Amino acid sequence: MPNNGKVSSFQITLIRHGQTVQNSLGIVQGHMDTQLNNIGIEQAQLLASKIAIDDYQLVYSSDLARAFDTARQLVCGTKNGFTCEMIRIDQRLRERSLGSCDGKKLKVFLDQCSAANKHPDDFTPEGGQTLNELQIDVVDFIQNRILPDAVNVMKQSNNGCEIKILIVSHGITIREFIKHLRSFGDNKSWPSSDHVAFTHSPPNTSASVFRVHIDTTSEQISTVECICLHDLSHLEGDLYHDTLNFKRKFLV
């Protein structure tokens, strides 16, 4: 992308919601409004103790409870005056709906994909959302929500510090968000396209951080640096290993 103007930047941190009972049972959630379980609450609280939420100027969340409650754990007790009412809710951050497979075991969906001889990304159960429809929502959110809000905050900021944006969302949505940001990648900071971040959902409460450079003349994205992908350093011991590995047992 040509860049003839002044470039400024902001950081985006993408967080997947904490674990739910449905996660632990290998159940597809999609647009189901499920709650965090005790492990999910603990994951979010441990992340809150590390993430320095006071450094963030904007916080967004999916409207689904498992994401919003994760965001609420992250902003509780902040010193900069953040309240739950200041979390910006957006339905475009929802998980992909798998229609008739929402509420069923993941294996049911995968068996339907196999029967149709299609990759899961290319198969849409009855009443579900196509991956392309989800991608349209993600791009629309970035272009028409994140960019205008970020530019507005940067214009109002007088301290010269890079602003930070926190987004709490869902597995496939975050994967597609990351893939879109990579399309602006500087190539030096990004892993190859077969990296797990571009092929699988991130672990619960994992953090992925990016620096988004914008051309302030056009107010559009110029390049995006990848700072980290799927970081789980807020978790330790069994909780770390269980969070990283639990999904595998549902795919057999």
CATH of the domain at 70: 3.40.50.1240
Residue showing tokens 């905050």: 153
Mean pLDDT of the chain: 90
pLDDT digits (tens, 9 = 90+) for 75-110: 986 666 667 778 999 999 999 999 999 999 999 999
Return the higher-pLDDT residue of 185 and 224.
224
Catalytic residue (one of 95, 176, 230, 234): 95
Active site (annotated) includes residue 180: no
**Structure confidence by residue, pLDDT tens digits, 158-184:** 777 889 999 999 999 999 999 999 999
Parent domain of 74: 7-250
pLDDT of residue 42 exceeding 70, the answer is yes
Residue 2 lies in a domain: no
Q: Does the pLDDT of residue 247 top 70, yes or no?
A: no
Tell me the pLDDT tens digit for each residue of 112-161: 999 999 999 999 999 999 999 999 999 999 999 999 999 999 888 777 78
- Is 21 one of the annotated binding-site residues? yes
pLDDT attached to residue 204: 96
Instruction: Give yes or no: 230 in active site.
Output: no
| Percent of residues, the chain, with pLDDT higher than 90 | 72
Helix 65-75 and helix 38-48, axial crossing angle in degrees, nearest 10: 40
Q: Which of 164, 183, 200 is nearest to 60 (CA)?
A: 164
Q: pTM for this one?
A: 0.92
- Say which residues have a Cβ less than 8 Å from residue 7's Cβ, sequence separation at least 6: 213, 214, 215, 216, 222
Domain count within the chain: 1
Is 16 annotated as ligand-binding? yes
Is 124 inside a domain boundary? yes
Q: 17 among the known binding-site residues?
A: yes
CB atoms near residue 21 (< 10 Å): 15
* Residues facing residue 208 across a β-bridge: 14
Q: How far apart are the first and last CA of the chain?
A: 44
User: Could you tell me if residue 87 is inside a domain?
Assistant: yes
Q: Enter the DSSP assignment of 97.
A: P
Residue 1 inside a domain? The answer is no
Report helix, strand and coil shares of the chain as percent, to nearest 5.
Answer: 40, 20, 40
